[in-house]
Amino acid sequence: MWILNSVILFASLLGLLYGYRKGEGLELELDKKEHKLFFWYPLIQCILVRTKLEQVLLKKQHVSEAVKAFCQTNKPEQQVRLFWYQRIATALTVFVLFNLLSLVGALVDSGGLSLVDGRYVERPGYGEGSSELELRVKVKQEKEAPHQSEVPDSQEVTVRVGEQRYTQSEAEQLFEKAIRYLQEDVLGDNPSPDSISERLNFCKAIPGTSIRVTWVPEDYKLVSADGSIHNEDISEEGITTSVKAVLDYYELEREYRITLHILPKQYSEEELFKQGLAEEMNDLSVKTAARPFLELPARIGDYKLSWEQKDSGTGFSLFILGLVGVFAVWSYGGRQLETRLKKRKDQLLLDYPEMINKFTLLINAGMTIRQAWIKIAEDYGSKGDGNQGRKRYLYEEMLVTVRELKLGIPEKKAYEQFGRRVGLIPYIKFCSLISQNLIKGTRGFTELLVLEASEAFEDRKETAKKLGEEAGTKLLIPMMVLLILVFLVIMIPAFLSFRM
């Protein structure tokens, strides 16, 4: 997995280098606050152009129209491209970050113990303690068997690798007493003391007391100090033995002896294979205890073994999580555009009555339509609201129309383009009134404006009421959560007082 992660990371670095070289002047043309990931744009542009995906994205009419509604420039196509670049750059950044995390996870998995030359495991250093390594062993039967083998071709094995040991003289200085067992039920999963075939439970202490227990089996060949039972080679009648529990409580000591009857255990072919594998590994561990590597067995009976290190899959999981993150970011970008478009629509509807009222007053004061339009737009521009974070889409669109008028575009065409850009019925109706006035004259025009202003204020009331209802709906869930918290604050102390 780490190889794939490294290739993706290397390709990403090359892409960043390409973007740095090709985008040296791009930073000056873009808004740094809005396009923080501009360094990806040259690479994205190169990929989209060469794969002809750019034309496919630009043909998404609903997205293009939504983006153009937000831009008040003479380069709407460029704004649509930048929207797609920004969206792809966000998804690409998420993918690269999760790929980096995936690489780190894969490297962490490969750290610690590792398999060397297919048969050797590097031991921990002096004093580092024992470690475990997850391996996968592949089994191949060399001799043909009369029946199908029950041993699987591949199985996972946990190899416990002891630390590299000191010499006998050094071990004498470091040696210390290590095992004490305490348990309420010594039988464990066994039905009775007369039928022992499973591991015994040797506990370290009696629960709720300061009594400590040391278990001393009568025959360590049958019962180990850790409670494991060695009943592989006993007869069918079983063997009777005993275990002594030494209970120590400060200076006091008591002994309790339990008589046990050990029964033989029946092993399947797979269990016999695992048993032989464990015994062979123990023998090799003892033989190679002073060596820097633990040698793994190459053959068990008629089975040939080959070893490979098990991958925990952390790197792959992070890689998949990165792909999910890319999908989530991509989906969020689409929903964010719809949200911005709705906010723009609501703002335009709320600003419409104010604008038409100003327009009516200026017309009644003797100004022409052109003069009134320029007056309203330039008043907004002179206040600098659009540059101070209080951007109003209505007046930004009016400023665009002012620039068109100054460039010599006919008034009727400029006002009609304004209505099409805004795309809302009240504005289209307003532009239609202006166009009719330019054709037929000013007779009755002021009365129509007054009537339109009155209707606009009524529509604004309805719009404000609708927005208030939507806000109330959004607050419903937090209010329910607060209600539940209030109930918990009241009820929990009440229940506690009843119990007391």
CA distance 431 to 419: 6
Tens of pLDDT along 399-448?
999 999 999 999 889 988 988 888 888 888 888 888 888 887 766 777 88
The reply to whether 398 and 298 lie within a common domain is no
Tens of pLDDT along 307-334?
887 766 777 788 888 888 888 888 888 8
Residue 374 lies in a domain: yes
Return the structure tokens found at 340: 């911005």
Return the structure tokens found at 289: 């205890």
The reply to whether 224 and 242 lie within a common domain is yes
Tens of pLDDT along 218-277?
888 888 888 888 877 788 888 888 888 776 644 556 677 778 888 887 667 777 788 788
The reply to whether 305 and 157 lie within a common domain is yes
The reply to whether 283 and 301 lie within a common domain is yes
Residue 326 lies in a domain: no
CA distance 428 to 452: 12
Q: Which of 357, 354, 383, 359 is nearest to 372 (CA)?
A: 359
Long-range contacts of 323-331 (CB under 8 A, 24+ apart): 323/95, 323/98, 325/94, 325/95, 325/98, 326/91, 326/92, 326/94, 326/95, 326/98, 329/90, 329/91, 329/94, 330/87, 330/91
Residue 484 lies in a domain: no
CA distance 49 to 262: 78
Residue 319 lies in a domain: no
Residue 13 lies in a domain: yes
CA distance 252 to 461: 89
CA distance 322 to 102: 8
464 lies in which domain range?
337-477
Long-range contacts of 394-399 (CB under 8 A, 24+ apart): 394/347, 394/348, 394/351, 394/352, 394/355, 394/422, 395/351, 395/355, 396/72, 397/72, 397/421, 397/422, 398/355, 398/373, 399/72
Indicate if the pLDDT at residue 494 is higher than 80.
Answer: no
The pLDDT assigned to 174 comes to 34
CA distance 9 to 5: 6
Rounded alpha-carbon distances, angstroms, from residue 286 to 130, 175, 231, 307: 14, 17, 22, 20
The proportion of the chain whose per-residue pLDDT surpasses 90, expressed as a percent, equals 1
The pLDDT assigned to 171 comes to 36
The reply to whether 105 and 123 lie within a common domain is no
270 in Cβ contact with 152 (< 8 Å): yes
Residue 487 lies in a domain: no
The reply to whether 29 and 129 lie within a common domain is no
The reply to whether 126 and 197 lie within a common domain is yes
Return the structure tokens found at 470: 């939507």
Q: Which of 264, 259, 256 is nearest to 194 (CA)?
A: 259
Among 110, 143, 158, the domain-final residue is 110
CA distance 258 to 484: 57
Amino acid, single-letter form, for residue 318: L
The reply to whether 214 and 131 lie within a common domain is yes
The reply to whether 185 and 293 lie within a common domain is yes
363 in Cβ contact with 372 (< 8 Å): yes
Q: Which of 207, 222, 214 is nearest to 255 (CA)?
A: 214
Among 87, 110, 133, the domain-final residue is 110
Chain CA centroid to CA 402, Å: 49
Between 299 and 494, residue with greater pLDDT: 299
The pLDDT assigned to 334 comes to 81
The pLDDT assigned to 306 comes to 84
Say which DSSP state 115 is in: E
Q: Where are the beta strands (DSSP E) in 218-343?
A: 239-249, 252-262, 293-295, 299-300, 303-309
Domain count within the chain = 3
CA distance 163 to 121: 11
Residue 297 lies in a domain: yes
The reply to whether 96 and 132 lie within a common domain is no
Residue 12 lies in a domain: yes
Highest mean pLDDT among 273-282, 306-315, 488-497: 273-282
Tens of pLDDT along 53-107?
887 887 777 777 777 676 666 577 777 878 888 888 888 888 888 888 887 777 6
The confidence band for 389, taking pLDDT boundaries of 50, 70 and 90, is: low
The reply to whether 304 and 350 lie within a common domain is no
Among 263, 294, 311, the domain-final residue is 311
CA distance 193 to 398: 95
Highest mean pLDDT among 77-81, 301-305, 345-349, 400-404: 400-404
The reply to whether 99 and 151 lie within a common domain is no
